[in-house]
Amino acid sequence: MKFHIADMTCGHCVSMVTKAILTADGDAKIQTNLTDKTLQLSTELSSAEVMEVLTEAGYPATEVKASCCNPANTCHSA
């Protein structure tokens, strides 16, 4: 799962987001990208549960949905 967290702007934010997720699922695998303000994780939590945990921690998030398209969007060319 991948999420965009607009309010994740510094190392402290990353720490707080990581702590919130690990509190809810201690086995979660977490990768953050501060430049893109994204969180990618492998967890037993549902996406709704992840968003709830992040909102409660003060970092509301939106899920980034996977796309079938490549960057040039050529998969839809006919």
Split into its structural domains, the chain has a count of: 1
Would residue 78 count as lying in a domain?
no
Would residue 75 count as lying in a domain?
no
Would residue 20 count as lying in a domain?
yes
Would residue 71 count as lying in a domain?
no
Would residue 72 count as lying in a domain?
no
Distance in angstroms (rounded) separating the CA atoms of residues 17 and 56: 10
- For the entire predicted model, the pTM comes to 0.81
pLDDT value of residue 65: 86
Q: What is the CATH number of the domain that holds 25?
A: 3.30.70.100
**Strand order, beta sheet including 38-42:** 29-33, 38-42, 2-4, 62-63
**What confidence tier does 14 reach under pLDDT thresholds 50, 70, 90?**
very high
Would residue 73 count as lying in a domain?
no
**For residue range 15-72, what is the model confidence (pLDDT) as tens digits?**
999 999 999 999 999 999 999 999 999 999 999 999 999 999 999 999 998 766 655 5
- Which residues span the domain enclosing 45? 2-66
